[in-house]
């Protein structure tokens, strides 16, 4: 079988702290085929952003990285800066959470977009700007040519996120990573951006890695979902199955804690009790054990391995919920 577009194995991201090493990402593994969509879900602090940054070699200088990231048939971890820069923005596009601060306030939108094409394609400024205008059209920003001459402060949050998505797609990458692309936006704008991402993914045949703390956001766009807890994958599977029949108690907790429109009126939200652990002081055994309603004695002594339960479905739990 051909190698998948993206293959992540045993990914580790650690930071030396006063309390010992903070393990932000612990042995994470997943695969993504060309043109497919995968969502990564988890509470804040579960290591989602560190994963996204590590996939582009953008982790903090002091971070320790381990494992393997194979992309388009070659290993990325350990590349030199020059080689990394040929991947970043060119073969892999990355969109961040905060559109208000992710654009340079001192440069026009055109200047910030065109530089990507100048860098990777060697285009001249005029040709690059023409291509940028086409891409702004594609993300449905009206009057693209005029907008290119404007500055970020003349754009709303949603519009800025469209600009950032357009920038990330200028070189027609085969993979787009979007890290909480809608978290900072109004609900209505959120829906528009998600619809846009889904459509671009289909039209351009992109592989999409969508990261969110919100299961519903991910389920709306992605075929497959991976649930992260304290830097590890605790469950993965088809979005529809995961949502209706969670096998890991953490996934079930996430599902129970989200606000739902179809829930009976007056039914209280049931947040997962407790807090995610400090990555520098993880509990023994399963990291979710202190918050788990179904913890067994074995959960304190042994880290549960990620086991395949059925085709395309994996769960890291000593006592998975019945399927």
CA 9 – CA 71 distance, rounded (Å): 11
Structure tokens at 283: 């509990």
Q: Toward ligand ADP, which CB reaches closer, 28 or 132?
A: 28
Residues 6 or more apart in contact with residue 142 via CB below 8 angstroms: none
CA 210 – CA 95 distance, rounded (Å): 10
Q: Toward other proteins, which CB reaches closer, 56 or 185?
A: 56
Q: Toward ligand ADP, which CB reaches closer, 17 or 104?
A: 17
SS3 assignment, position 38: strand
Residue in 63, 87, 208, 315 binding other proteins, rule: CB under 8 A: 87
User: In angstroms, what is the minimal distance from the CB of 175 to ligand ADP?
Assistant: 18
User: In angstroms, what is the minimal distance from the CB of 125 to other proteins?
Assistant: 13
User: In angstroms, what is the minimal distance from the CB of 199 to ligand ADP?
Assistant: 26
Structure tokens at 290: 């202190």
Question: Which has the closest alpha carbon to 153: 205, 91, 108, 95?
Answer: 108
Count, residues near other proteins per rule CB under 8 A: 32
Binding to other proteins by residue 64, rule CB under 8 A?
Answer: no
Binding to ligand ADP by residue 27, rule CB under 6 A?
Answer: no
Question: Which has the closest alpha carbon to 9: 92, 86, 59, 71?
Answer: 71
Q: Toward Mg ion, which CB reaches closer, 36 or 49?
A: 49
Longest dimension (CA), the chain: 66
Q: Toward ligand ADP, which CB reaches closer, 174 or 212?
A: 212
Binding to ligand ADP by residue 17, rule CB under 6 A?
Answer: yes
User: In angstroms, what is the minimal distance from the CB of 97 to ligand ADP?
Assistant: 8
207-212 and 224-229 as β-strands: parallel, antiparallel, unpaired? unpaired
Residue in 4, 7, 9, 15 binding ligand ADP, rule: CB under 6 A: 15
CA 95 – CA 53 distance, rounded (Å): 11
Residue in 98, 137, 214, 223 binding other proteins, rule: CB under 8 A: 98
SS3 assignment, position 221: helix
224-229 and 307-310 as β-strands: parallel, antiparallel, unpaired? unpaired
Structure tokens at 226: 């991976």
Binding to ligand ADP by residue 135, rule CB under 6 A?
Answer: no
Residues from 118 through 147 that contact other proteins (CB under 8 A): 119-120
Stretch that binds ligand ADP, among 38-46, 80-88, 252-260, 264-272 (CB under 6 A): 38-46
Binding to ligand ADP by residue 89, rule CB under 6 A?
Answer: no
Binding to other proteins by residue 254, rule CB under 8 A?
Answer: no
183: partner contacted, choices ligand ADP, Mg ion, other proteins, none (Cβ within 5-8 A by kind):
none
Structure tokens at 132: 């940028």
Question: Which has the closest alpha carbon to 181: 207, 204, 158, 155?
Answer: 158
For residue 129, CA distances in Å to 107, 137, 187, 272 come to 14, 12, 31, 49
Binding to ligand ADP by residue 47, rule CB under 6 A?
Answer: yes
User: In angstroms, what is the minimal distance from the CB of 204 to other proteins?
Assistant: 18
Binding to ligand ADP by residue 275, rule CB under 6 A?
Answer: no
Binding to other proteins by residue 151, rule CB under 8 A?
Answer: yes
Q: Toward ligand ADP, which CB reaches closer, 120 or 213?
A: 213
Q: What is the CA radius of gyration of the chain?
A: 20
Interface residues toward ligand ADP, by CB under 6 A: 15, 17, 22, 24, 42, 44-50, 60, 279
């Amino acid at each position: 079988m051909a190698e998948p577009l993206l293959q992540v194995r045993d990914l580790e991201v650690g930071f030396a702290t006063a309390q010992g090493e903070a393990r932000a990402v612990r042995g994470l593994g997943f695969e993504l085929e060309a043109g497919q969509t995968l969502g990564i879900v988890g509470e804040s602090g579960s290591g989602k952003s560190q994963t996204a940054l590590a996939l582009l070699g953008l982790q903090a200088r002091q971070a320790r990285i381990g494992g393997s990231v194979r992309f388009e048939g070659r290993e990325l971890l350990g590349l030199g800066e020059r080689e990394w820069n040929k991947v970043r923005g060119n073969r892999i596009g990355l969109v961040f959470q905060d559109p208000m601060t992710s654009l340079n306030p001192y440069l026009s939108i055109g200047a910030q977009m065109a530089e990507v094409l100048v860098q990777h394609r060697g285009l001249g400024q005029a040709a690059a700007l023409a291509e940028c205008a086409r891409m702004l059209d594609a993300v449905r920003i009206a009057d693209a040519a005029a907008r290119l001459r404007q500055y970020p402060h003349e754009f709303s949050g949603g519009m800025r996120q469209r600009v950032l998505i357009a920038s990330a797609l200028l070189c027609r990458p085969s993979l787009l990573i979007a890290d909480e692309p809608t978290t900072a936006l109004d609900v209505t704008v959120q829906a528009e951006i998600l619809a846009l991402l889904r459509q671009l993914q289909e039209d351009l045949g992109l592989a999409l890695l969508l990261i969110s703390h919100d299961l519903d956001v991910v389920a709306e766009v992605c075929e497959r979902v991976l649930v992260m807890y304290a830097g590890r994958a605790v469950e993965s599977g088809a979005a529809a199955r995961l949502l209706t029949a969670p096998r890991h108690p953490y996934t079930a907790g996430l599902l129970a804690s989200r606000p739902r429109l179809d829930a009976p009126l007056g039914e209280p939200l049931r947040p997962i009790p407790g807090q995610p652990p400090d990555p520098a002081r993880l509990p023994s055994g399963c990291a979710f054990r202190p918050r788990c309603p179904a913890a067994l004695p074995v959960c304190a002594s042994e880290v549960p391995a990620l086991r395949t339960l059925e085709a395309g479905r994996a769960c890291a739990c000593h006592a998975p919920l019945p399927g």
